[in-house]
Amino acid sequence: MSQMRRPAIHRVSAPGSEESHAESERSRAFPIVAVGASAGGLEAFTELLRVLPEHSGMAFVLVQHLDPSHASYLSEALAKVTKIPVTEIRDGMVVERDHVYVVPSNADVGILKGALTLFPRPERRPHLPIDFFMSALAADCGSQALGVVLSGTGSDGSEGLRAIKAGGGVAFAQEPRSAKFRGMPEAAIDTGVVDFLLPIPELVRELLRIGHHPFVLRRADEVLAGGAEDVELKKVFVLVRNAVGVDFSDYKATSVRRRLARRMALRQVATISDYLLLLREDPNEVQALCADMLIHVTTFFRDPAAFEKLKERAFPEILEAKRNGGKIRVWSAGCSTGEEAYSLVIALMEFLAEENASDIPIQLFGTDISERAIERARSGFYAEGVTRDVGVERLSRYFTKVDGGGYRINRAVRERCAFVKHDVTSDPPFSKIDLVSCRNLLIYFGQELQKRVLATLQFSLGHPGFLLLGHAESIVDGTDLFSVVDKENKIFERTAVKTALRVAAARDVYPVGANAPEGGVRASTPGPGDVVRRTESLLLEQYAPPASSSTDGTRSSISVGGPGRTSSRRPASRSTISSRWRARASSRIFASRSRRLGRRRPSRVAPAFGSSIMA
């Protein structure tokens, strides 16, 4: 998150105004800025328009919470403070640069191919028009979508900013101390996706700079050309891997380049060579780049038809195998902030209740590479936007309304979930799993990495064992590992083909700029972290499979076996599991709970009992 010096309040001139304007006129593409506010919105909009130049080269869509029973005079009021044309939105209106559009009081607004579309305002509450428009804008404009959250109460706009950032755009929020009402800016900050947190005058200045950056005006591959920069890109991978232990070299090049170009735009860096210097000098930027690579976009019951088909095609077979005893074991790989994992548990609970089999225990493992995402999943707390994806009956049965706004997953669901930091591309998998959900993750991997991950997921499954992928994903190179159960909803079943696992070699993690300890072994001092690791190992010993390992000098080959399973080598004892797996792939929840026992926490971040990705 960046912050600039506070300038004097005056009208801001667009950077390189005449040249920038002429260049943008040669292309029909231009940024569209979604600006959301509720209480205090008139003052915030007024301040923004007073410092915005007449020819910014961008279009602005202002969305405010308005009374649907009264006509809005917002456009008339704002037109008095700016020379920019201010218009109340009409259905089908095409967005033009250097115009301001205001949502009418009795409608929600979307956008498709640059044309604004009006929808009747829903009667269901809470009403979240800012989230609605920002999500539509992200889908329509990608990196040319910019989102701004200003003064207001509640959390509207938070999920919209998340969607904009996931689509490659940039997320702004008003500095809460400068807002008349700080609820909406603070809720946006809590998501962790805000790129710039600034008072309105500085926010406008940064908007203008970003809006004229080549990343926004053109494609990311024009910012990062190929050739010599490929060598520099590999150096970026080395720095990130050394600092955070994540190897992005096997991810799809287009996704990596797009995210890297975005960070360069945010940090005002023109070349990848200069960005490498920044990474070496600023450890926080390495963390920020990694976080940008791991954008978390998920919802409850995404693709509802897939959950219904699981109840028809997969759950009955799993139940039949558990009639004589045993847990139903589910792995949500790349679970992000937990919505998918909790949805799977709720769907299973509903199915078992219908079959009079609620006594059969459910154990779900939610894994993600992001510690921040895992912590949010454990908390089980979600903003008001959850009401868009969860029906009224499910909301009342499985969620609890939290004072101050938002909802928390009920204890009955949370106690069936263990959330674990884990890298599916390199860490050994869980074993004896009945259902793996790995949705919208493979699409960001290169072909070889996809094949390796599919083999890992197949190895983790028992018989019967099912795999659920995302709507845009398919199994091209793993047809011998899985058979199709439901092609449309991406449900597959494990075949009898045996798989030998190969996972990445263990890597120590060092701060940027630090030298590795002599002999390549990191020195350690016993402390609270050791207690955490021992606690984590308890869960690992119970749920992770036995393993043996050998090293061929370049990679570690780890063979994992379980009861009734034949592995590529004879299984060894659990004590041979790599220390890296113990440290990175086991649950931290018991230690997390212990740290919280001695002090009262705000209800919004209460931990889950029992216990991402690139765009």
Instruction: Report the catalytic residues.
Output: 38, 65, 156
Residue 362 token pair: 């459910």
Please report how the helices 158-166 and 183-190 are oriented relative to each other, as an axis angle in degrees rounded to 10: 40
User: 362 exposed, middle or buried (CB, 10 Å; 0-12, 13-18, 19+)?
Assistant: buried
Instruction: Please give the C-alpha separations between residue 441 and each of 201, 234, 294, 368, in angstroms, as whole numbers.
Output: 39, 22, 10, 11
Residue pointed to by tokens 């440290």 = 583
| Rounded Cα distance, 66 and 239, in Å | 48
Instruction: Put residue 319 in one of left, alpha, beta given phi > 0 → left and psi -120 to 50 → alpha.
Output: alpha
- Residue positions counted in the chain: 615
Separation CA 293–CA 269 (nearest Å): 18
Residues 576 and 556: beta-carbon distance below 8 Å? no
Q: Which tokens hold the place of 499?
A: 């798989």
Spell out where 498-603 has E strands.
547-551, 556-560
309 and 486 Cβ atoms separated by less than 8 Å:
yes
Distance between CA atoms of residues 64 and 46, nearest Å: 13
Torsion of CA 392, 35, 145, 138, to 10 degrees: 10
If you write DSSP's letter for every residue of 111-161 in order, what string do you get?
A: EETTEEEEEEPPSSSS--HHHHHHHHHHHHHGGGEEEEE-S-SSSTTHHHH
